Amino acid sequence: MILGIGIDIIEVARIHASHEKFGERFLSRILLPNEISYCLSHRTPAPFLAVRFAAKEAISKAFGTGIGAQLGWQDMEVGRKESGEPFVILHGGGQKLLHQRGAQSVLISLSHTQDHAAAVAILESGT
Ligand SMILES: CC(C)(COP(=O)(O)OP(=O)(O)OC[C@H]1O[C@@H](n2cnc3c(N)ncnc32)[C@H](O)[C@@H]1OP(=O)(O)O)[C@@H](O)C(=O)NCCC(=O)NCCS
């Protein structure tokens, strides 16, 4: 059963500018180490960074909490299967919310161009 849905779109240039200005400090506030190394493995990391930023906002909308005290940036991680398919790993506050909602997982789909990055998240229960 679908318990929640969230969507987000972001301008890649905005994330590029924050990365340029704040560097590693910005990355490690928003992303986890595996996410950072995946993004930085690309010659142009900005769209990959931006879409993970969008993914976290979309997940926060699926929970209905936004990003803040209940659900922090580091409570959500975008993993990547060998096929390239992304998946969501929840930590701390994210796990807590998942259990509170009686949900089983969060599904995610990502898309990016040079200019924009977008993500959709679905909160689902097992039944
Ligand atoms: C919920 C959140 C993700 C919305 O994102 P946003 O970038 O402000 O706004 P968007 O244009 O993507 O989305 C706006 C829509 O989100 C939806 N929305 C707002 N609060 C929401 C919530 N708690 N749950 C689900 N959806 C919500 C609304 O439909 C809203 O549209 P409306 O204003 O026309 O009603 C945002 O409030 C948030 O928590 N952002 C994190 C902020 C932050 O830390 N930024 C620092 C950047 S380093």
Digit-coded pLDDT (tens) for 10-51: 999 999 999 999 999 999 999 999 999 999 999 999 999 999
Q: What pLDDT was estimated at residue 100? A: 96
Distance 99 CA to ligand 1 centre (A): 23
How many Cβ atoms are within 10 Å of 65's Cβ, its own excluded?
A: 17
Q: In the CATH hierarchy, which fold is given to the domain comprising 2-124?
A: Ribosomal Protein L22; Chain A (3.90.470)
pLDDT in tens, 56-114: 999 999 999 999 999 999 999 999 999 999 999 999 999 999 999 999 999 999 999 99
Distance 27 CA to ligand 1 centre (A): 20
Indicate the pLDDT class of residue 127, thresholds 50, 70 and 90. Answer: low
Specify the long-range contacts of residues 38-42, CB closer than 8 Å, at least 24 apart.
38/80
What are the structural domain ranges in the chain? 2-124
